[in-house]
Structure 1
Amino acid sequence: MSTYIWNILEWFSQGLNTVFLAGNPNMTVSARCWVNRERSGWSRAYHAINRVFFWQADHCRQSYEDDLRFARSVLPPPPEKHVYYPPGGDPIDQ
């Protein structure tokens, strides 16, 4: 499937998740099914969607991992090491 068509389908899935399921606009329905796969209604949707995308081992999990990969690509890297400064111990204040 061409990238253009796949992007349109992904956009549509994000729209369904946002408008009809009151979900995060940056998450597809498939990814949301993976996150909520332990809940009964979502579990049924998770298994149904994975049957539709039978050529993938676990489509919903792959969608979730793709969403994470994209988020990591656009976010700045985490700081090397977090240093806790107690109140009054911030080196900028000294």
Structure 2
Amino acid sequence: MGRRCRQIPIAVDQFVNTLFGGWADETISSVAWRKRCESKGWALLRALIDTLFFWQDNHCRSAWESEKNRLQCPPELREGK
């Protein structure tokens, strides 16, 4: 799958997250992992998302780690470049 085909669903995900008050550059999966201990709702959403992405181990945690490590950014914008 080409880079563009991967980036468009992520952009839609970030847009929806922003519509509901989240940070513009964060995916719903990342938020669900980050807030999973704040409420049962976030914990359930994290479990649902991880179930939907059953082929990826710990999808929400991986999304959060990607955000934290700025892996979604072009290589030249990542810290230390």
TM-score, structure 1 as length reference: 0.71
Query: Matched residues in 1 for 2:31 and 2:2: separation?
Result: 24
Query: Matched residues in 1 for 2:54 and 2:2: separation?
Result: 18
Structure 1 gaps, min length 5: 78-94
Count of residues in correspondence between the two structures: 76
Q: CA deviation digits over 1:9-67, x for unaligned, max 9? A: 11011001001x20100110000000011121111110000001001110001111111
The answer to whether 1:6 aligns with 2:6 is yes
Structure 2 gaps, min length 5: none
Q: Secondary structure at the match of 1:70?
A: coil
- Residue 57 of structure 2 corresponds to 57
Query: Matched residues in 2 for 1:62 and 1:76: separation?
Result: 18
CA 63–76 in structure 1, closer or farther in 2 if over 3 Å, else same: closer
Q: Secondary structure at the match of 1:55?
A: coil
Q: CA RMSD in A?
A: 1.9
CA 76–59 in structure 1, closer or farther in 2 if over 3 Å, else same: closer
Query: Matched residues in 2 for 1:2 and 1:53: separation?
Result: 19
CA 8–43 in structure 1, closer or farther in 2 if over 3 Å, else same: same
Q: Percent identity?
A: 28
Query: Matched residues in 1 for 2:2 and 2:58: separation?
Result: 21
